[in-house]
Amino acid sequence: MISYLQEHFDYRTALITLALLAIGIVSVYSATFDARAAEIFHKQVLWVIISVIACGIVSFLPFRFLQFISYPSYFASILTLAAVLLLGRTVSGSTSWFNFWGLRFQPSEFAKITTVLALAAYISRSDVTLQKPRYLLTAAGIVSLPVLLILLQPDLGTALIYLGMFFPVLYWGGASRFTLLAFIAPGVAALAALFGTTAFLICIVVFGALLYVTKENRIVAAAVFSLMLLVGISVQYMYSGLKQYQQKRIATFLDPSADPLGAGYNILQSKVAIGSGGFLGKGYLHGTQTQLNFIPEQWTDFIFCVPGEEFGFVGAATVLLLFSGLLWRGVKLGATVKNTYGSCVAIGLTAVIATHVIINIGMSVGLMPVIGVPLPFLSYGGSSLLATMIMVGLLMNLYANRKEY
C-alpha cells in the first residue's frame, strides 16, 4: 500500500497545496477580522472544503477520459462565456458572473482549464507541427476565441492569463524561437511605448536584432518589425480607446504617486503594508494597514499584503518559496510525463498558476498594473479557488499516470 502511494500519489504537491490553503485561510481571516466581514471568511472556508473535494475527485478520474472531454469541455466553456455576456451579472464594471443560490460563478476561471486541455489535445496530434503557419494559427485561434469573449465583458486581467499560458505551451509543443519572438514582439513594443520614446526605441533595436539573428524567415521578420513600429506609434490612440478606469490603472502603474488618494491609493498602501512588516512582521492580527482597513477589500487582490505585513520578510518569502516549489513540480512533471498531451497540459496549467502569481504579487509591490487578478489559494473567491484546485487535481492525476503513453 505504501509503495503504491509513493508511486501514484504526488504528496509533495499535496503538502505544498495544503500549506498555501492554510496561509490563505489565515490571511482571509486576518483581512476580514476588523472589517465586519465575517461572512467572507465563512464562505471562503466553505469553498476550501468544496475545492479540496473537487481536487480529490479530479485526481482519480481516468486519464483517457480527461483527454476525451478536452474538446467538448472547451466548446461548452465557449458557450458559457457567450451566455454570461447576455445573462450574467455586472460586478465592478465587468459582466463576468452568474448567480446560483447566493453564490457567484465566474465562467472565465474554468475556461482557462478547458482551453489548456483543448490546446494540448490539438498540439499533441501526430499530424500537427507548429513549424507550419496553418497549424500555428489554429492553435492561436483556440486561445483567441475565449480571450475575445472575455475582453467583451470586459476583463483584461483574466484575458492576460490566457496569453501567459499560450506562449509556454507553444514553446513546449515545438514552436521555434523565431515564432515566439514574432508573437511577443508587438505586445512588448506596445508596453514599451507606454513608458516613452526612449523605451520604445530600445525595444525596437533589441527585438529587431533578435529577429535578424534568427534568420528563419526574412519576409515574416520584416512584417513583424513593421507591425512593432505600427503598434508602438499607434499605442496612444489605443490607450485613448480604453475605458477611463483602465486608463487610470495604467497611469497609476507608471506613476502611483500621481494620484495617491485615488487610483494610486491601493498600490501605495500595499507597498507601505509590505515594507512596514520588516523581517519578522508585526504579529498575527496586529498589522496596522490590515486591521485598520487602509486597503479596501484586502482579502481579494491585495491579500499578499497580509503575510507580508504580519509575518514580514519571513512570511512573504515563505509564500514565494511555496509557490516556487509548486511551479517547479509542475514543470518537472511536464518533463516527466511520457504522454505528449499530458506533458502539454502540465505545462499549460503550471503557466496559468505562474501568470497569476507574477501579476498579483507584481500588483502588490507596484511592479504591475492593478488589473484584478487573484492570488491562487490565498485570495477570497470561490470560482478562482475551485478552478485552481481542479488544476492541482489534474496535475496530481498526470503524476499518477506519468508513465502512460
Q: Alpha-carbon Rg of the chain, whole angstroms?
A: 22
Task: Write down the pLDDT at residue 321.
Answer: 96
Residue 104's DSSP bridge partners are: 99
Q: How confident is the model at residue 357 (pLDDT cuts 50, 70, 90)?
A: very high
Angstrom distance (rounded) from CA 281 to CA 293? 17
The pLDDT of residue 258 is above 60: no
Going by C-beta distance under 8 Å and a sequence separation of 6 or more, which residues neighbour residue 105? 97, 98, 99, 382, 383
Q: What is the DSSP letter of 61?
A: S
Q: How is residue 97 written as a grid cell? A: 458572473
Q: Any idea which of 246-255, 291-300, 340-349, 383-392 has the lowest mean pLDDT?
A: 246-255
What amino acid occupies position 321?
L
Cell, residue 289:
494597514
pLDDT for 257 beyond 60: no
Segments of 92-231 assigned E as strands: 94-100, 103-105
CB contact burial 247-286 (16+ within 10 A = b; e otherwise) = ebbbbbbeebeeeeeebbbbbbbbbbbbebbeeebbebee
Q: At what angle do helices 340-364 and 107-123 cross, to 10 degrees?
A: 140
Location of C-alpha cell 465575517: 38
Give the domain ranges of the chain. 10-400
Count the alpha carbons within 13 Å of 73 in the hemisphere toward its beta carbon.
19
Query: How high is the mean pLDDT of the chain?
Result: 84
**Which cell numbers in the block locate residue 175?**
514552436
- What is residue 39's predicted lDDT score, i.e. its pLDDT? 83
Least confident of 135-144, 246-255, 280-289: 246-255
The predicted-structure confidence for 72-126, as pLDDT tens digits, reads as follows 999 999 999 998 888 777 766 666 767 766 667 788 899 999 999 999 999 998 8
CA 385 to chain centre: 12
Tell me the one-letter amino acid at 95. T
Whether 334 has a pLDDT exceeding 80, the answer reads: yes
